[in-house]
Structure 1
Amino acid sequence: MENSPARELGLQRRLVAYKTYAAWQEVPHAVYQYEPDATEFFSEFRKLKEGFAGGSVKLSFNTLMLKAVALALKEAPILNASFKYDPEAHNGTITENPLINPGVPWILPGGGMMTLTVRDAGGGSLLDIAGQVESIRRKVEKTDFPRLFLATAKPVIPFDPGEGLSPADIEDSTVTVSNIGSICKSPGQFSLLEILPPQVFAVGISALQERPGVYTDGSGERAIGIRKILPMCLAFDHRVLDFGDLVPFISRLDKLFAEPEEIFGW
């Protein structure tokens, strides 16, 4: 049987290959698997979502998690930093970013994915973030992606995005938040994901999974029941961070999952 003819990467895959190659060439990845009980959190989300019904924007679980991650990053700003390393000098510089701009992988109309930037998720309200996500969705539908990829790779090429995405929509992200649970409901989960330099942290969110677990019931008694577990992969650049740097981030999420009513104030 003859081999299929070799073919080169398309523009979208070339862009992804360039970014991920740098990630694995430069960054020593370390990973923590975080698996909080999100049963009550998801229940409160469904109530909050009803309040958005009929409005100009929709509330998704992914949007809610962007805000949750941003608030947790406020407790651990070193995770929202940029890092420049000089291997010759064996030294580097760390700069904490003033804004929390999650880079969110997005499925494109013709297949493939691109990481798009949601800006100031830490300072914006939940409605603001949902509005940005809706705006990105509309822009994606009106984007000439081959021309956008060329403009990204070679900024000197004139590019008029019209009502579609511009290079600014894929720049300036400070942390990657990838929610595969929004596109795949199977019981699998992230075990590792790349950190895109100069970022130092990435969050991979998998689909909610029903598992037996121990919890405190309404009468304050310990009980065993079916719980909704939210697997999250927390990857960090070990040149900059140790696990202790993640503790404030995790502690803030622990508090949120234990007391999810706060989401109604977001």
Structure 2
Amino acid sequence: MAKNKMKKTNTIHFGIQRKIVANMTTESWANVPHVTYNYEPDVTEFMIEYKRLNEDCPPEKKVTLNTLMLKIIVEGLKADPIMNSHIEFDRKLVRGEIHTFENIDISMPMVLPSGEMMTINLHNFENKNLDEMVSYIADVNRRVANTNLDEVMFDVSLDNTLTALKQGKIKQTLYRLIGSKTGKHKVKTLSGKEKSNYYKIPENDRLTKHDIEQGTITVSNIGSVYRAQRGETCLLEIVPPQVCAIAVGAVQDKPVVVVNEAGEKEIAIRQVMPLCIAFDHRALDFGEIVPFIKRLDEIFAAPEIIHTWRNTGISEEHMAEIKVEREQREAKYEQSKEREKARKDAEKAAEKARRDAEKARKDAEKAEREAAEKAKKADEKVKKEAEKARKDAEKAERDAAEKAEKARREAEKAKIEAVAKAEKAKRDAEEKARKESEKARKEAEKARAKAAEAKAKAEKARKAAEEIKTDKAEKAAQEAEKEAEKDEAIAEQTEKEANNK
């Protein structure tokens, strides 16, 4: 059976940008043990202050939400500098080092006007205020317009290849050269006059490899790519040797558990900004990102601090006014929650009263049905008991008659059995007497026969004694006569007894 063949619609060979991304992300997943944590701060009050931040600002001075989040992340990194680090680890020797940096260089993916993605290194953001960050990013966008993406990326790729060669990775270097310089996968860069003209552009008017080299941490604003999204990032790659990467999601309305003035927990619809924090488990544990999270919690809890991050700063009076306004909003929010709670409580009370009334009605109907059922059962029980008593009386009467008849029959049977037993006893006695008389007669005859025999022996013995005339014979004859007399006496006694019977 022939296999179904899939029909290709198009084939796109990796350009240098996709090659670099593919290589770095593959290295990341091959070597870095990732851990991710999803942080979801309530930014409702923060978003109000963000809108206030741009009031009366000219367009070129307005702070984007992306820039403001970069500043907040920088503040978090200052509180937790271990996240702003690079790692060196030798798996064979199980040796490692973590290098923490003073400068915060943020690697931030940007969507270019062409639709392509490029990761820009935002250098030295640790000491920049919001206006300086706005100017820096605006200058990057200005220079992007004069930049050939393939050319600058090739410079970075070449620099990485030479670094690998210095580290003794000859095989890797050869493979990269073959992959980028041969066949249909060859990277196309500028040449001739076009290249000469491009490099005549001053470096401060275009991006260089310095602008896209590795930073100290990566921050990717996924929310800015599609603001209507309703999801969040759960996993993103850490680009080695960095130890952290952060993805910022879009602001979304979500149900949040809040605590009211009464200390009760309730559900409210609030604005939430999901952040995904990924870290290299070789370098960090969860406890080591907690200071970062706590610092962000502080900022989102008192967001008026963002007004101090501009060139002009803010007066203490204005800051106090903003704080009072926020507290008033929170108070109004609490009041609205209380009114909503009161309304819901009233609705619940009315619903409860309705349910109670309905329950009472059903209980009354049930009680009425149960009473009727009980009365019916009681009446049936009385009838059943009366019928049972009648049947029991009839049965007792029948049982008594049957017992009397049985007793009469048993008496007659006993009488008959007694007569029969008496007759049998009489017959048995007569038969026994007859048998004993016959036995005694036979025994008497036997005794007489024995006596006659004894006499005959005695006579014989006497005659023999006379013939031999010995004392011994005489004595034997005498004993024989005595024995014969004894047997004769026994025979007479036996015959007498038999006659008596």
**If the length of structure 2 is used for normalisation, what is the TM-score?**
0.50
Match of 1:193, as an amino acid? L
Rate the CA distance shift 1:62–1:217 in 2: closer, same or farther, 3 A. Answer: farther
Q: Look up the match of 1:94.
A: 98
Give percent identity, aligned residues only: 39
Q: Which moved more, 1:76-85 or 1:208-217?
A: 208-217
* Partner-residue secondary structure (3-state), 2:125: coil
Shift of 1:169: 0.6
Q: Which moved more, 1:126-135 or 1:207-216?
A: 207-216
Q: Look up the match of 1:116.
A: 120
Q: Which moved more, 1:117-126 or 1:227-236?
A: 117-126
Q: Which moved more, 1:16-25 or 1:72-81?
A: 16-25
1:211 aligns with 2:254: yes
In structure 2, C-alpha distance between the alignment counterparts of 1:217 and 1:50, rounded to whole Å: 31
* Partner-residue secondary structure (3-state), 1:9: coil
Structure 1 unaligned regions, length at least 5: none
In structure 1, C-alpha distance between the alignment counterparts of 2:11 and 2:138, rounded to whole Å: 39
Whether the 8 Å CA contact 1:215–1:224 is kept in 2: the answer is yes
Deviations 1:129-172 (A, max 9, x none): 11111111111122111211222212489973542211111124
Larger Rg: 2
Deviations 1:176-219 (A, max 9, x none): 11111111121011011111111000110110110122336799
Match of 2:105, as an amino acid? N
Alignment of 1:1-266 (within 5 A): 2-4=7-9, 6-51=11-56, 53-54=57-58, 56-155=60-159, 160=199, 162=202, 163-185=205-227, 186-215=229-258, 224-266=267-309
**If the length of structure 1 is used for normalisation, what is the TM-score?**
0.92
In structure 2, C-alpha distance between the alignment counterparts of 1:37 and 1:19, rounded to whole Å: 34
* Partner-residue secondary structure (3-state), 2:107: strand
In structure 2, C-alpha distance between the alignment counterparts of 1:15 and 1:218, rounded to whole Å: 54
Deviations 1:66-97 (A, max 9, x none): 00000001111110011011111112111101
Whether the 8 Å CA contact 2:106–2:123 is kept in 1: the answer is yes
Higher-strand-fraction structure:
1
Q: Which moved more, 1:195-204 or 1:157-166?
A: 157-166
In structure 2, C-alpha distance between the alignment counterparts of 1:2 and 1:243, rounded to whole Å: 48
In structure 1, C-alpha distance between the alignment counterparts of 2:59 and 2:263, rounded to whole Å: 38
Q: Which moved more, 1:177-186 or 1:229-238?
A: 177-186
Match of 1:187, as an amino acid? R
* Partner-residue secondary structure (3-state), 1:240: coil
Deviations 1:215-259 (A, max 9, x none): 367999866432000100000000010000010000000111101
Whether the 8 Å CA contact 2:257–2:265 is kept in 1: the answer is yes
Rate the CA distance shift 1:88–1:150 in 2: closer, same or farther, 3 A. Answer: same
Shift of 1:114: 1.2
* Partner-residue secondary structure (3-state), 1:122: helix
Deviations 1:5-24 (A, max 9, x none): 65420111011112111111
In structure 2, C-alpha distance between the alignment counterparts of 1:125 and 1:27, rounded to whole Å: 33
Rate the CA distance shift 1:231–1:150 in 2: closer, same or farther, 3 A. Answer: same
Shift of 1:4: 4.7
Report how many aligned residue pairs link the two structures. 265
Whether the 8 Å CA contact 1:57–1:134 is kept in 2: the answer is no
In structure 1, C-alpha distance between the alignment counterparts of 2:233 and 2:272, rounded to whole Å: 14
Across the aligned residues of Structure 1 and Structure 2, the Cα RMSD in angstroms comes to 2.2
Question: Which of 1 and 2 has higher RCO (CA within 8 Å, sep 6+)?
Answer: 1
